[in-house]
Amino acid sequence: MEANNIQACINKGAIYGLLILIFLLRFNLSAQKSNIDDLIENKNFDKAIEVGVSLLADKPNNAGLNFKVGYSFMNTALRKSESIPYLEKAYEIYSKRKTNSKSAFETKFYLGMAYRKNYEFKKAIALLTELKKTSTNNELHNAIDNEILQCQNGEKLMKNPVKVQVTNLGVSLNSSYSDHCPIVSADESVMIFTSRREPSASKETGVDGQYNEDIYISYNENGKWQKPKSISININTEAHEASIGLSPDGQQLFIYSEVDNGTILTSFLRGDEWSKPKRLGGNINTRSRETHASLSVDGKFLYFTSDRPGGSGGLDIYVSEKNRDGTWGKAKNLGPSINTEFDEEGPFIHHDGITLYFSSKGHETMGGYDIFSASINGFGTWTKPQNLGYPVNTTDDDAFFAITADGKRAYFSSYREDGLGGSDIYMMALPEADEKPVTIVKGKVDACGSDINNVLITVCNSENDEIVGLYKPNTRSGKYLFVLPKGKNYSAIFEVNGQEKVIEDFFIGENADFQVIYKPISLLKGTPCEQVVASADTKQQQRNIDLFSVWDEAKGYTIIEDIVFRVNSSQCYNYRDNLAKLANYLKTNPDVKVEIVGYSDTQGPEAFNLKLSKKRAYVVTTQLIKFGVDKNQLSYRGDGIKNQISINNYKDGSYLWQSLPYNRRVEFKVSNDTNEKLKVTPVKIPVLYGLDSKSDEVKKELARLETVYTIQIGAYRKPVQRKVFAKIKNVQMYYSNKLYKYTTGEFNSFESAQKELLSVHNSGFDKAFIRKASEYLPNEISKLYSNPIDLKREFARLDTTYTIQLGVYRKPIQRTVYADVKIVQMYYVNKLYKYSTGEYNSIETAQEKLSNIRGLGYSKAYIRKVSEYYPNRFKNL
């Protein structure tokens, strides 16, 4: 890669290396201004060579012309070797003269630099060591020492080259102009880069003969990068713009603008359109030069470069943490471990959150910028930067290296012999690089008509409920992506308008490999959770008011009901009359106290559910106060997932949606009721879902359901909104066999169901039909209870069958944790997820298999009876 490439990426002026070298060059050019001098100053080196070679045809022994042509060749991408004969001739001519020894010194210095750039390190070291003896100037000594050190570094790095495979991304992406600064999304589905191709927003060419920089975008389809297009009229202007950073999900772009000496802007992808770029705040942009930016995987930190006062020298790398209000906080210099007295550029914080890639002129480089990596250690400090080696790094400037999430590939731009013209974009495979153990979670949120813009994804650390990151899906496509580092349990909460939610749990073990998890999400107002709970709300009221309650009210008692809630909600539905009745009693009896206790089901992080349960109790308390109850009569608290009264999960850990609503409730605890005329009806749980249901009750309910009929209105692959069935009352939803099935009514005879079926057909649902209510039972309950005699026989078998338990966890884990074990079964028992493998008819066979399992590294595996994994109440059948 070239110095020209860096200039093209950020258009920040001439980069010739050390300031002392610019001074030396200026000496040669200032004596007599000519066309070739203008071309060199404007970095149009190809044209300068053309002019210089033409002039040398008439004046072949002109030392100054030979020097300028040699210097121009040295700054080209592919013709550096042609610089040496011209510089050697210029030095030979100058050294023969008794006067102008200064020109001879300068020419010899650049000849040494040309040897280094062409990998002739021994020649360069010998020449420069000899040159150093002829001067006592400290600045010149420093410049010479730096060149010698780069040669020594080059020799060392080239003795141990790293294995790489470089591929030009071809004509579908590259042009005959300069294409550079590629950045990619974490899943490599999107690439954004900078190009000086035609046409651009500006039709004007620069002094170097290329068009102004614009930003382009390309999409990866089936492993092939598609023809790029200009990213947006909101971004590209007649001035220079360059792509410098991209969020992992590809929805936030960071842009370099040449305005105010160098400024960082940002733009967001809203559906298919990129927003108009906005300047980052004063903690990022200053009156100094800011050139590059990289966003951390959780969106909380921005690493960027600036030459602001107070740094180590030149461009330094800084980091800023995002404030709660979304602004960027005060920038902190990364310190002497990373920054040197020279320039650091192109920071890229990897998706693992701890590895920083950057370019530097000040660490152990082999010339110009080299690419380094450093990591944050356990003490929160940076490790010593490591040179990525040759041929990743060359004797020229190497910068702006975009590493993939797995760490096995990198995208970069370079001038190479197989290029199409100017710099091209390449992909470099790094087969010897260690794979980065991160997990990409991606998918599509289906809101089924709801506004995707209202969807929020909150990722939490399940162990301490700390929020890891907040993400938004694309507002048009619904696509989302986030990245999870290894060694933690995570919960991802997908919610719309803060109401409906879907929760997905991820366990990324310490020994996890790189992986991509595709997780489509169905989320809408009217999600399976809400539909079931809504119907449960209505049904709950009907069942709670039984004959005993009616008889009590006739005797002057006030009967109130505990309250159930929709998923992830603190809004109590259909209970206004219930609360009004309680309020009237409390106002009439001011000495009575009521404690209001909220609960939650087990979905999601415990801290989240604790807060939600407290909020539920608070909402009920507030409503009672609105009804005129003295607040001193009321107290409230949230008990989270304590005191569960219905089944939450199947044994495989998946949720039993029909049962969940009964755990999402508020209970009333009455005290100091001297009249004893206030009675609370507890939430009445269907026998099939109750944790304390007795087996004979379950069998009786199953037998009843075998003689009860219902009408199925429809079955869908995705849940539908309740308004679809607006003309039908008492609609229930069941989820079975990957279908959402909607029914109405319970009928004790087939004939009575037939009469109601005609009414349903007349409502427009002519495909509705009659089914037995028992057919909608959750599979687990149906299987365990359907035939008690067979179940007893099966349990007797399981009591003499053995399995090998691999591990026990509080949260479900990914299957990849036991990737080398063929068959793994998960059981959910006593609030723990237990993983086992195999079923063996004898303890001896199990012991033999246990030895093999432990040999795979599962040293804590042991043997258990299979029967131990079934809930105790099933043993009594």
Q: Parallel, antiparallel, or unpaired: how do β-strands 455-461 and 488-496 relate?
A: antiparallel
> What does the alpha-carbon distance between residue 470 and residue 461 come to, in Å, rounded to a whole number?
12
Q: How far is CA 749 from CA 169, 272, 767, 773, in A?
A: 71, 56, 20, 12
Q: How many alpha carbons fall within 13 Å on the CB side of residue 445?
A: 35
Instruction: Please classify residue 590 by burial: count the beta carbons closer than 10 Å to its beta carbon, then call 0-12 exposed, 13-18 middle and 19+ buried.
Output: exposed
> What does the alpha-carbon distance between residue 282 and residue 274 come to, in Å, rounded to a whole number?
23
Question: With a cut of 50, which residues of the chain have pLDDT below it?
Answer: 1-33, 525-555, 566-574, 780-791, 871-877
By C-alpha distance, which of 376, 347, 374 is closest to 264?
347
DSSP 673-711: -TT--EEEEPPPPPGGGBTT--HHHHHHHHHHHTT-EEE
Q: How far is CA 593 from CA 136, 587, 668, 675, 814, in A?
A: 94, 11, 10, 13, 48
- What would you report as the CA-atom Rg of the chain, rounded to the nearest whole angstrom? 36
pTM: 0.61
Is the CB of residue 217 less than 8 Å from the CB of residue 231?
Answer: yes
Predicted confidence at residue 665, as pLDDT, reads 85
Q: Would you call 288 helix, strand, or coil by DSSP? A: coil
DSSP 27-67: HHHHSS--HHHHHHHTT-HHHHHHHHHHHHTT-TT-HHHHH
Predicted confidence at residue 543, as pLDDT, reads 30
Predicted confidence at residue 227, as pLDDT, reads 93
Is the CB of residue 537 less than 8 Å from the CB of residue 564?
Answer: yes
Q: How many alpha carbons fall within 13 Å on the CB side of residue 709?
A: 15
Tokens of 186: 């974490």
Dihedrals phi, psi of 152, to nearest 5 degrees: -65, -40
Q: Identify the structural domains of the chain with CATH numbers, from first to last.
A: 30-159 (1.25.40.10), 165-429 (2.120.10.30), 438-522 (2.60.40.10), 558-681 (3.30.1330.60), 696-784 (3.30.70.1070), 788-874 (3.30.70.1070)
Predicted confidence at residue 405, as pLDDT, reads 94
> What does the alpha-carbon distance between residue 40 and residue 115 come to, in Å, rounded to a whole number?
20
Is the CB of residue 486 less than 8 Å from the CB of residue 475?
Answer: no
Predicted confidence at residue 107, as pLDDT, reads 92
Distance of CA 756 to the CA centre of its chain: 51
What angle do the packed helices 63-74 and 101-117 form, to 10 degrees? 30
Q: Would you call 788 helix, strand, or coil by DSSP? A: helix
In the chain, count H helices and then E strands: 18, 44
DSSP 118-146: TT-HHHHHHHHHHHHTT---HHHHHHHHH
Tokens of 529: 């959770």
Count other Cβ atoms within 10 Å, centred on residue 659: 26
Distance of CA 561 to the CA centre of its chain: 44
> What does the alpha-carbon distance between residue 43 and residue 61 come to, in Å, rounded to a whole number?
24
Predicted confidence at residue 679, as pLDDT, reads 83
SS (H, E, C) 184-235: ECCCCCEEEEEECCCCCCCCCECCCCCECCEEEEEEEECCEECCCEECCCCC
Largest CA distance in the chain: 127
Predicted confidence at residue 234, as pLDDT, reads 94
Place of tokens 């990596």: 373
Q: Amino acid identity of 175?
A: S
What are residue 809's DSSP bridge partners? 833
> What does the alpha-carbon distance between residue 126 and residue 130 come to, in Å, rounded to a whole number?
6
